Amino acid sequence: MMARLEEEGIREVGDYQSQKPLELGEQDGVMVVRAHGVSPQRRTYLKSLGMKFQDATCPDVGIIAGKVKLHANKGYQVVIFGDPEHPEVIGILGYATQGGHVIRGEDDIAALPELGEKVCLVSQSTMFVDEFQRLATLLQNRFPEAVVIDTICGATRERQSDIINLIGQGVEAIVVVGGRHSANTIKLAKLVEKQGLPAFHVESPDELDLSCLSRYSAVGLTAGASTPDFLIQAVREKLEAA
C-alpha cells in the first residue's frame, strides 16, 4: 500500500512521534497526520514547519484524546489499556497532563503506584472488548472510585462480533485482510485463533494460499478497519473463483 501511495507522491517522513527535527526537504508540500494521531506537543511542532497542515486523526482517536484531556484537567491520573509503543497510545499520553500509565495485563495493574482516588481508565481504540472489561474490573478492585470509559471504537467491536458470528455460521477458517503491522488486523487474527480456528492474515490476494484453503469447506472473510475496500474485494473475488 505504501508503494502505491509513493507512486502518487505521498511519502512517510520519519518518526513524527519523536521530538527530533524532520528532514522534509520540501517546504511547499502538505504535512498529513495519520489516523493514529500525535501528541499536542508534536502537533504544535509539525504546524511550526511552515507546510500546509492536514490532520487526518481518526475521529474515534480524537474522542479518546479529548476524554483524557478533560479528566486530566480535573486532576485524574489516566490509565490507558493498550500497547505502550503504539503511535495511538503515545499520542494520547500527551494529553494526560497529570501523568499517564499504560497497562497491557493484570501484572501491570499490580505494578501501578498508588494513584489516589481520582483514576480514569480508557482504552486504545483497537483492543479486545473482553480484555478491557476484565482489566476494568481488576483496576476497580484496586481503585474502587476509578472512572471507566470504554473507548474501543465501533468498527473494532463490529469486526470482533462479525468473527464470532462467522464461527457460529460454521466456517472452518477465516481470512483476515490487512497490513502486516496493523494493530487491529493482528488482533482480529488472534481472536480467530483464540476461538480455535485457523486464521490466514494476508495483505493482498497474491498472498492467499489457495491450496491450503481448499482443505476447508467454508472459509470466512474479514478485514482490519483501515484496509481499503478494493483490497477486500480483490481477496473476496479470488476466494470465490477458487
Q: Is 237 a catalytic residue?
A: no
181 vs 209: CA distance, rounded Å: 20
Beta strands in the chain (DSSP E): 30-33, 52-55, 77-81, 100-103, 119-123, 147-148, 173-177, 199-202, 219-223
CB atoms within 10 A of CB 132: 20
91 vs 86: CA distance, rounded Å: 9
Residue 196, classified by CB atoms within 10 Å of its CB into exposed (0-12), middle (13-18) or buried (19+), is exposed
3 vs 176: CA distance, rounded Å: 21
Write down the residue that cell numbers 486530566 correspond to.
Answer: 72
User: Helix, strand or coil for residue 66?
Assistant: helix
Of 88, 114, 172, 203, which is the active-site residue? 88
Enumerate the active-site residues: 88
